[in-house]
């Protein structure tokens, strides 16, 4: 029987992944772990283990005792927070990854999922429809840790047969929690301000387009990749994944179709520099060809879904 462990379960992605997996595999097949408990009642229906992913012994014990077949290792310090704490970001992102990969190498789990990001790309990558194999020269610690992590995942697959799979997520947009420490997070905040009837102060330039994705698409992509037959998973660094793409100005206009009085003002800060080093849009041909990926949400669908869900 499959047993799934999510490490970093109380974060923005973890909460949604657990709920998606509970619906698909049953509440008892999904266990959450983090250094703090989740505030989400649905997540808390399942078993929770207190776990510091940087503690090698603790990770080994949980994976030895738990009988898990699948581990989703989501722990990371994101781009903006990583620039304020470069060494802590590097330490957290890399150490926790090695702890999981080493356990997988010893055969304690069958499959590992580890998220990468559009942050692997830097200023020299082509901005439009950025290709899978273009140059990855990120300017953030987060991006550097993701490029290094991708290469380590490939190394563990090729040298030790560890079945580790990965996606380069765009900015993820979901209603269940507020993200923290990222550069794409402005978009989630915009929805909350709009529904509170408040003006939104955006820290990016109005025309800074970024790749984005509705959380439902992100969760479906994750589970489809994890369920794909091993021979279909040809990319062993991390797959480019495309949802939709928009700028703060375009988001503002789309929200205004439902909430005409919504207004965004722009005060770019250091996060604008990070955003300007990233792609505007992503080419995910390999994900489509290898395991049949196709996004559902365009900008219009994403905005409608977010406003409806937050209103509820
Ligand atoms: C961030 O903005 O740092 C993240 C990401 C794109 O990986 N959302």
* Sequence spans of domains, the chain: 4-170+215-240, 171-212+242-311
Q: Rounded mean pLDDT of 197-222?
A: 98
Which of 140, 146, 171, 218 for a ligand 1 pocket mutation test, highest count of atoms within 8 Å of Cβ?
Answer: 171
Instruction: Using the predicted structure, report yes or no on whether residue 121 has a pLDDT greater than 90.
Output: yes
Q: How far apart are CA 214 and CA 226, in angstroms?
A: 19
Percent of the chain with pLDDT over 90: 96
Which of 184, 241, 246 for a ligand 1 pocket mutation test, highest count of atoms within 8 Å of Cβ?
Answer: 184
Alpha carbon nearest to ligand 1 atom 7, residue: 117
Q: Which CATH number fits domain 4-170+215-240: 3.40.50.300, 2.60.40.10, 3.40.50.720, 3.20.20.370?
A: 3.40.50.720
- Ligand 1 centre from 183 Cα, in Å? 6
State residue 180's pLDDT score: 85
Instruction: Using the predicted structure, report yes or no on whether residue 39 has a pLDDT greater than 90.
Output: no
In this predicted model, what pLDDT tens digit does every residue of 49-58 receive, in sequence order?
A: 999 999 999 9
In this predicted model, what pLDDT tens digit does every residue of 234-261 receive, in sequence order?
A: 999 999 999 999 999 999 999 999 999 9
State residue 7's pLDDT score: 98
- Ligand 1 centre from 170 Cα, in Å? 7
Q: Rounded mean pLDDT of 217-236?
A: 98
> What class does CATH assign to 171-212+242-311?
alpha beta
Instruction: Using the predicted structure, report yes or no on whether residue 112 has a pLDDT greater than 90.
Output: yes
**Closest ligand 1 atom, CA of 82?**
3
State residue 64's pLDDT score: 97
Q: How far apart are CA 253 and CA 32, in angstroms?
A: 38
Q: Rounded mean pLDDT of 3-18?
A: 96
Burial 33-68 (b: 16+ CB within 10 A, else e): bbeeebebeebeebebbebebbebebbbebbeebeb
**Closest ligand 1 atom, CA of 142?**
3
- Ligand 1 centre from 150 Cα, in Å? 16
Q: Which strands sit side by side in the sheet containing 244-246, from one edge to the other?
A: 171-173, 210-214, 244-246
Report the catalytic residues.
142
78 lines ligand 1 (CB under 6 A): yes
Q: Rounded mean pLDDT of 17-36?
A: 96
State residue 178's pLDDT score: 85
For helices 186-196 and 299-311, angle between their N-to-C axes, nearest 10 degrees: 50
Confidence of residue 46 (pLDDT cuts 50, 70, 90): very high
Q: Rounded mean pLDDT of 214-232?
A: 98
**Closest ligand 1 atom, CA of 278?**
6
Which of 12, 78, 82 for a ligand 1 pocket mutation test, highest count of atoms within 8 Å of Cβ?
Answer: 78
> What does pLDDT average to over the chain?
97
- Ligand 1 centre from 88 Cα, in Å? 17
Instruction: Using the predicted structure, report yes or no on whether residue 179 has a pLDDT greater than 90.
Output: no
């Amino acid at each position: 029987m499959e047993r799934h462990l999510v490490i970093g379960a109380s974060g923005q992605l973890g909460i949604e992944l657990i709920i998606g997996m509970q619906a698909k595999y049953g509440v008892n097949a999904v266990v959450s772990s983090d250094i703090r408990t989740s505030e989400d009642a649905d997540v808390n229906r399942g078993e929770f283990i207190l776990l510091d992913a940087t503690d090698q012994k603790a990770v080994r014990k949980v994976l030895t005792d738990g009988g898990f077949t699948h581990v989703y290792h989501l722990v990371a310090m994101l781009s903006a927070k990583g620039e304020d704490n470069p060494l802590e970001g590097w330490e957290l992102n890399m150490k926790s990854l090695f702890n999981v990969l080493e356990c997988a190498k010893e055969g304690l789990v069958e499959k590992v999922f580890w998220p990468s990001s559009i942050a692997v790309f830097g200023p020299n990558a082509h901005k439009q429809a950025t290709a899978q194999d273009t140059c990855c020269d990120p300017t953030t610690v987060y991006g550097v840790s993701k490029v290094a992590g991708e290469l380590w995942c490939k190394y563990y697959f090729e040298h030790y047969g560890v079945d580790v799979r990965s996606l380069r997520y765009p900015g993820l947009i979901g209603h269940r929690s507020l993200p923290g420490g990222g550069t794409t997070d402005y978009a989630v905040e915009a929805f909350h301000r709009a529904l509170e009837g408040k003006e939104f102060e955006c820290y990016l330039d109005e025309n800074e387009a970024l790749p984005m994705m509705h959380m439902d698409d992100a969760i479906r992509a994750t589970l489809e990749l994890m369920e794909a037959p091993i021979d279909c998973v040809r990319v062993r660094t991390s797959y480019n994944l495309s949802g939709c793409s928009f700028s703060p100005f375009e988001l503002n206009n789309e929200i205004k179709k439902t909430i005409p009085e919504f207004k965004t003002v722009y005060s770019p800060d250091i996060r604008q520099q990070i955003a300007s080093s990233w792609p505007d849009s992503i080419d995910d041909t390999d994900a489509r060809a290898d395991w049949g990926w196709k996004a559902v949400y365009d900008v219009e669908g994403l905005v409608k879904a977010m406003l409806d869900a937050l209103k509820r």
